[in-house]
Structure 1
């Protein structure tokens, strides 16, 4: 899976925070990083809110999201090199000072870089990936991709131009795999619908186990 860096320039306003959270969920969903989406949304909210609070509404800001090895890296760029984020211990009745404390609590690491024309507040989140473009899901997903690659090469030879499948081609290959398996089951006198139901049950159990949920 290719996870190319992306960035967005915007104006720091309170009403932008919700849109940024939705955008993060959309992009991380496309990257297959569902397990870190909630934490990433929290970090984006707090980093941008920190700019709004300490630099000011209307500040031109740039959000940059990328992979740094197996970590998800989130950067917020703003032009004020004097207002530096500070990790404060906010009291239970305090209305402020919690932003960077929350980021510190959920991120693997965070920091601030000073450039001649801006500062960059960043944080990195553990994804569980082995490589930046690796799969979430371990050996099951690796096996499936090998099978899909074979099917795509056989059924879609004109569309497969490299060793890496696009999401669209992989989905189309998956449909061919499932369809052929249903034909095989029918030819051998098996109940295809029952097999599909059992496969769906196995899938749901494995998902629940992966998330630490009761089966």
Structure 2
């Protein structure tokens, strides 16, 4: 027999944008666009700094999230439906991006991370640097890329540290 539960509306919902606040962060279902990516970046900064983590770690979380969502758009096209989950657990910021394309897996191009002439191709190098050990998991609905940005607990302004 179903249990009656009160329905708590999301903090923000609009066509192609559905935000669910959680105790440790948020889950955002969205169709990708420049405007929504900008709103996501602001939400990442607000959530991480609101959890008492310093600006440097928040900036790193914003960059990693932007790179992962950008990769999803390149794989799936504009207005791709993605789900972004962000959680702060007291020693790391967890970022997960889900997209519907199981076949388009992350792959490094020929661009070296220090190539000053290239305008793209550094996203995976950024992930390696800021969130070593990031993972890709195929799901029944597509794929999930997850990473952790560990930081020294008790020192909220420091850069992420290697696990």
Same fold (TM over 0.5): yes
User: SS of the counterpart of 2:149?
Assistant: strand
- Choose between structure 1 and 2 for higher RCO, CA contacts under 8 A separated by at least 6 residues: 2
> How far, CA to CA, are the matches of 1:90 and 1:110 in structure 2?
20
Tell me, yes or no, if structure 1 residue 71 matches structure 2 residue 92.
Answer: yes
Tell me, yes or no, if structure 1 residue 26 matches structure 2 residue 50.
Answer: no
Compute the displacement of 1:69 (Å): 7.0
Q: How does 1:29-178 map to 2 (within 5 A)?
A: 29-34=49-54, 35-67=56-88, 70-91=91-112, 92=115, 93-129=117-153, 136-137=154-155
For structure 1, the residue ranges without an aligned partner over 5 or more in a row are 130-135, 139-209
> How far, CA to CA, are the matches of 1:103 and 1:14 in structure 2?
21
Compute the displacement of 1:14 (Å): 2.8
**Contact kept? 2:29, 2:84, Cα under 8 Å:** yes
Q: 1:72-130 CA deviation, whole Å, 9 max, x = no partner?
A: 1100011111111123341422233211221212213211111111200111111212x
**Contact kept? 1:88, 1:101, Cα under 8 Å:** no
2:36 aligned to which of 10, 16, 22: 16
> How far, CA to CA, are the matches of 1:75 and 1:15 in structure 2?
20
> How far, CA to CA, are the matches of 1:68 and 1:119 in structure 2?
23
Aligned length: 133
Change beyond 3 A, Cα 1:125–1:50: same
Structure number having the greater helix percentage:
1
RMSD: 2.3
**Contact kept? 1:36, 1:127, Cα under 8 Å:** yes
Compute the displacement of 1:16 (Å): 2.2
> How far, CA to CA, are the matches of 1:115 and 1:70 in structure 2?
27
> How far, CA to CA, are the matches of 2:45 and 2:97 in structure 1?
17
Structure number having the greater strand percentage:
2
> How far, CA to CA, are the matches of 2:62 and 2:33 in structure 1?
16
